[in-house]
Amino acid sequence: MRAFRTRLEASRAPAAGSLFPSRGQWHETKEHHISEPRINDRIRVPEVRLVGPNGEQVGIVRVEDALRLAAEADLDLVEVAPMAKPPVAKLMDFGKFKYETAMKAREARKNQVNTVIKEIKLRPKIDPHDYGTKKGHVERFLSGGDKVKVTIMFRGREQSKPELGLRLLQRLSEDVIELGVIESAPKLDGRNMIMVLAPLKKKSEAKAEQRRRRDEATAARGAGSEPEAPATEAPATEATTTE
């Protein structure tokens, strides 16, 4: 019985160099085909709609002829639309194409802007010094391209005087009018009053300006640290006296 089971398992296992991969190998191959387009000899169709390296339409040709044209031009045959009938293939430098695609994706991630909402909490009877500090935080957030959620917290009898919080929010919005505008008007939310300020500049523009200022500051420091050239002195001459 054990010998029969061994022969059965051996018959199920793929032979060396078999055209039929195991389940794990098939799964890896499938993932590879999904992540990248088929190129050159991996294109297993009788004919393709061929596109030239500059986008010109060559027409429907046999895949053997397309591969020959790719070899003559020292390019790759890349299947760009496998679901079309027949599939569309293009002559291109696949290595260069992959590099440019990766660089574009990297640049897109670099320029991607995530909207961030900062929050500042105030009391209706805040003293002038604390108000100045809080206002500075709001100005910094708006300058950086972030939205600011301003919350007025009422306690005890302060809840019966919401106009105190309203006046404070109006004052703050007027103080930062050069940096932001009211996106969400003041409204009561339980024991709090909330207002949202939006920056006038987009976050991408704010980041670009910050980078520009940083580069200018670095250049200024570099120019100021250049050593001064030593002063040259005239050669001394001996005085001669005539007797």
Our count of domains for the chain comes to 2
| Summary mean pLDDT of the chain | 78
User: How far apart are the C-alpha atoms of 45 and 83, rounded to whole Å?
Assistant: 12
Let me know: does 92 contact 74? Beta carbons within 8 Å: no
Task: Give the rounded percent of residues in the chain with a pLDDT score beyond 90.
Answer: 40
Q: Is residue 110 part of a domain?
A: no
Q: Does the predicted model carry a pTM greater than 0.85? A: no
Among 160, 175, 199, where does a domain finish? 199
The model's pLDDT over 195-220, given as tens digits with 9 standing for 90+, comes to 999 998 776 676 777 777 777 778 77
Residue 77 lies in a domain: yes
Same domain, 186 and 123: yes
Query: CB-based burial of residue 122 (10 Å sphere; 0-12 exposed, 13-18 middle, 19+ buried)?
Result: buried
For residue 53, the enclosing domain spans: 26-93
Q: Is residue 178, in this structure, part of any structural domain at all?
A: yes
Q: What is the dihedral of CA 43, 47, 53, 56, to 10 degrees?
A: -150
Question: Is residue 180 in some structural domain?
Answer: yes
Do residues 52 and 122 share a domain? Answer: no
Q: Is residue 128 part of a domain?
A: yes
Residue 176 pLDDT > 90: yes
Residue 78 lies in a domain: yes
Residues 123 and 67 placed together within one structural domain of the fold: no
**65-74, 208-217, 227-236: range with highest mean pLDDT:** 65-74
Domain at 76, CATH number: 3.10.20.80
- For 109-128, what is each residue's pLDDT tens digit? 776 666 678 999 999 999 99
Say if residue 137 is in the same domain as residue 194. Answer: yes
- Does the residue 219 lie in any domain? no
- 144 within domain boundaries: yes
CATH code: domain of residue 149? 3.30.110.10
